[in-house]
């Protein structure tokens, strides 16, 4: 623990009530007989401060960053905090703010902590890491590199160079080098991240797959094609494995478990189940045997908070397969601006029982990519490259299974672009509300332009306006805005890139000459102009095309459960009419039941 914590907390209301405002009442409070004098409004540190610190610590490691932030803010109200303890509290406050995307506050508080703390302490290293991330986001790469290296040196000195929790620090440094086009240096940092994540999480984990995905960015730039292919197959295997475990848990009480597992693996992996060990020898090379045998981790205490990578415990793609049905086709979905792959979950859960496997990916910049130093930036051209690689892998693993692309809004535009550039990768396209022609576009453009001239990398909140235009449903608005995986803040640079991409939709449509396409548009959509979508449909030269206007539908038609049975049945029938006959995978006895 940080020494010198003698302090008094001053409050104007009882402590328990204060903490309840932050949503962090905890049994630890009941265990300490905390009494507050209503006359002086003070309490001794020994009970009150340690109670609040305990609440903060438990909330943080449960990733309840709002509650942790509230409790740390209360600690900082104390009188006579030692410099070391105040520095730790400020560091922890800045970490919570960074996890909540409150970057201006995180920058302010981490800088204060960095100046106040012991320059050779863990507190200083953790504060420097938050400062470095703020600088990276602002494009100040040289300064960020200095701070990342300083933080790594401090922790390596105190805990050793193979402390497994150094992964996020090396990843930040690698991101700086990659953005600065220093590829050899980036490659070395990202390999160290993969090695540390292998030690901490294991070779089959989602977290390890994420670190391999980051490493691939450098390997691709260095043209290490054979290694890149192996790493990608291993990444795909790990993410599929996480989905396999999830799906099998839904059938845990069903008979024929062995047959179910066998069929699900055929559905989920195709020909790729044998890729489990690919790339592991490359990653293990250079790791000391002692580190492999006994990975070193930081304890989960108040003095050991650091800016962890959030979202790595889950794959960036969700798979939905019914192992009791024959597999007729794969549907790959691409979500809309601000949402994530999980937005298609209700649709996927329904259509999987019709024999369609669904793979729903996050687009870089959204969902599980939100906390990545490089992939958190919205770049739809690069996102297309990501999806093309996925489709290429799926083609290899499912040589006889038709593949359908389904996208909505931003995703609707992306799938049209992919069909125009790489028609060999898809058999049919479903594009919902793909137009970039939007209501109130001039108002948004003025806001973005003004912000661009001032601070082009600072994120602005566009979410409330988008959600308000997209739907009149209060329940849907609440669900959308309250979704922790949704991203509602974008920088002017990202918004300009987005609109530039959307402005090319007509040109992309004009190149679709062979792929069957069906386009959907809600006639009650107050975000995208229906006539803009009609113009895209008219630009497609292929005669095998359809367009459906849904009179009462708003902006979302397939995402967030907004489809109805008519839409589901219509899409199912359209796919079956437009696909070559699939080589189906046999399924086990229909006596299987789902929980």
**Residues 333-345, mean pLDDT to the nearest whole number:** 95
Q: Report the chain's C-alpha Rg in angstroms.
A: 26
Q: Provide the pairing of β-strand 356-361 with 317-320.
A: antiparallel
pLDDT attached to residue 472? 72
pLDDT tier for residue 34 given thresholds of 50, 70 and 90: very low
- Give the global pTM: 0.84
Q: Which residues pair with 16 in a beta bridge?
A: none
Quote the tokens at residue 190. 């990202």
CA neighbours closer than 13 Å in the CB half-sphere of residue 529: 10
512 or 497: which carries more pLDDT confidence?
512
pLDDT tier for residue 480 given thresholds of 50, 70 and 90: confident
Alpha helix positions (H), 422-524: 441-455, 463-470, 474-481, 492-502, 505-509
- Position of tokens 């290293």? 125
pLDDT attached to residue 271? 95
302 three-class SS:
helix
Residue 121 DSSP label: S
Q: Which residues pair with 403 in a beta bridge?
A: 330
The answer to whether residue 23 scores a pLDDT higher than 50 is no
Helix axes 167-179, 206-221, angle to 10 degrees: 20
pLDDT tier for residue 345 given thresholds of 50, 70 and 90: very high
14 or 333: which carries more pLDDT confidence?
333
Write out pLDDT tens, residues 518-549: 999 999 998 999 999 999 999 999 999 999 99
pLDDT tier for residue 587 given thresholds of 50, 70 and 90: low
- Position of tokens 């235009």? 469
The answer to whether residue 372 scores a pLDDT higher than 60 is yes
CA neighbours closer than 13 Å in the CB half-sphere of residue 396: 12
**Percent of the chain with pLDDT strictly greater than 70:** 85
pLDDT attached to residue 443? 52
The answer to whether residue 173 scores a pLDDT higher than 80 is yes
289 or 372: which carries more pLDDT confidence?
289
Spell out the domain ranges in the chain: 160-307, 317-436+504-578
Of the candidates 488, 338, 502, the one whose C-alpha atom is nearest the C-alpha of residue 435 is 502
The answer to whether residue 584 scores a pLDDT higher than 60 is no
**Residues 169-182, mean pLDDT to the nearest whole number:** 94
**CA pair distance 229, 241, nearest whole angstrom:** 18
- Position of tokens 């929790």? 165
The answer to whether residue 573 scores a pLDDT higher than 90 is yes
The H or E element spanning position 549 is strand 545-550
How high does pLDDT run on average in the chain?
Answer: 86
**CA pair distance 569, 287, nearest whole angstrom:** 54
Helix axes 206-221, 183-201, angle to 10 degrees: 170
**Residues 411-436, mean pLDDT to the nearest whole number:** 97
Segment among 20-34, 125-139, 223-237, 461-475 with least mean pLDDT: 20-34
Segment among 12-26, 352-366, 432-446, 563-577 with least mean pLDDT: 12-26
Write out pLDDT tens, residues 54-106: 999 999 999 999 999 999 999 999 878 999 999 999 999 999 999 998 999 99
pLDDT tier for residue 463 given thresholds of 50, 70 and 90: low
Segment among 255-269, 451-465, 562-576 with least mean pLDDT: 451-465
The H or E element spanning position 135 is helix 122-137
* E strand segments, 67-110: none
pLDDT attached to residue 299? 96
Of the candidates 480, 491, 452, the one whose C-alpha atom is nearest the C-alpha of residue 365 is 491
- Position of tokens 């800088």? 111
Quote the tokens at residue 166. 């150094």
**CA pair distance 186, 183, nearest whole angstrom:** 5
**CA pair distance 65, 82, nearest whole angstrom:** 24
**Residues 581-591, mean pLDDT to the nearest whole number:** 50
DSSP per-residue string spanning 166-187: GHHHHHHHHHHHHHTT-HHHHH
Count other C-beta atoms under 10 Å from residue 75's C-beta. 24
Of the candidates 245, 374, 239, 387, the one whose C-alpha atom is nearest the C-alpha of residue 312 is 239
The answer to whether residue 342 scores a pLDDT higher than 90 is yes
Q: Is 3.40.366.10 the CATH classification of the domain at 317-436+504-578? A: no
**CA pair distance 346, 479, nearest whole angstrom:** 14
């Amino acid at each position: 623990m940080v020494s010198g914590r003698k302090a008094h907390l001053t409050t104007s209301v009882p402590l328990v009530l204060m903490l309840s405002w932050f949503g962090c009442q905890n049994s630890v409070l009941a265990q300490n007989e905390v009494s507050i004098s209503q006359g002086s409004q003070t309490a001794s540190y020994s009970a009150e401060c340690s109670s609040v610190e305990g609440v903060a610590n438990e909330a943080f490691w449960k990733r309840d960053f709002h509650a942790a932030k509230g409790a740390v803010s209360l600690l900082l109200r104390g009188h006579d905090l030692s410099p070391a303890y105040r520095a730790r509290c400020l560091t922890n406050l800045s970490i919570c703010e960074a996890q909540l995307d409150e970057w201006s506050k995180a920058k302010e508080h981490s800088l204060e902590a960095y100046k106040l703390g012991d320059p050779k302490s863990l507190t200083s290293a953790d504060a420097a890491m938050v400062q470095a991330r703020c600088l990276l986001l602002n494009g100040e790469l040289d300064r960020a590199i200095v701070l990342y290296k300083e933080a790594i040196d401090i922790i390596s000195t105190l805990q050793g160079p193979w402390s497994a929790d150094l992964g996020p620090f090396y990843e930040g440094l690698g991101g700086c080098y990659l953005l600065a086009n220093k590829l050899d240096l980036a490659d070395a940092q990202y390999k160290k991240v993969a090695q540390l994540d292998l030690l901490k999480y294991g070779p089959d984990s989602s977290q390890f797959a994420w670190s391999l995905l980051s490493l691939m960015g450098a390997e691709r730039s260095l043209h290490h094609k054979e290694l890149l292919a192996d790493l990608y197959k291993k990444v795909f295997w790990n993410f599929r494995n996480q989905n396999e475990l999830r799906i099998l848990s839904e059938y845990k009480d069903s008979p024929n478990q062995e047959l179910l597992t066998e069929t699900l693996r055929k559905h989920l992996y195709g020909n790729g189940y044998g890729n489990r060990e690919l790339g592991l020898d490359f990653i293990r090379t250079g790791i000391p045997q002692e580190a492999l045998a006994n990975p070193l981790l930081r304890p989960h205490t108040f003095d050991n908070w650091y800016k962890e990578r959030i979202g790595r415990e889950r794959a960036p793609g969700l798979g939905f397969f019914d192992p009791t049905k024959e597999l007729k086709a794969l549907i790959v979905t691409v979500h809309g601006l601000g949402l994530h792959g999980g937005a298609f979950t209700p649709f996927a859960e329904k259509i999987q029982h019709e024999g369609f496997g669904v793979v729903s990916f996050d687009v870089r910049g959204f969902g599980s990519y939100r906390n990545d130093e490089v992939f958190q930036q919205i770049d739809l051209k690069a996102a297309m490259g990501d999806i093309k690689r996925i489709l290429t892998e799926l083609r290899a693993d499912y040589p006889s299974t038709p593949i359908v692309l389904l996208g909505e809004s931003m995703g609707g535009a992306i799938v049209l672009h992919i069909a125009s550039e790489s028609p060999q990768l898809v058999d049919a396209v479903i594009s919902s509300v793909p137009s970039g022609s939007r209501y109130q576009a001039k108002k948004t453009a003025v806001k973005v332009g003004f912000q661009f001239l001032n601070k082009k990398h600072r994120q602005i909140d566009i979410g409330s306006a988008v959600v308000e235009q997209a739907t009149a449903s209060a329940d849907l608005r609440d669900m959308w805005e309250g979704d922790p995986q949704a991203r509602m803040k974008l920088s002017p640079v990202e918004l300009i890139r987005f609109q530039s991409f959307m402005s090319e939709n007509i040109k992309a449509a004009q190149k679709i000459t062979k792929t069957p396409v069906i386009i959907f548009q809600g006639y009650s959509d107050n975000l995208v102009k229906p006539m803009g979508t009609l113009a895209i449909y008219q630009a497609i030269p292929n005669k095998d095309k359809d367009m459906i206007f849904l009179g009462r539908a708003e902006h979302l038609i397939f995402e967030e459960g907004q489809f109805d049975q008519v839409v589901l049945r219509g899409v199912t029938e359209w796919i079956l009419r437009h696909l070559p006959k699939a080589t189906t995978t046999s399924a086990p006895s229909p006596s299987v039941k789902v929980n």
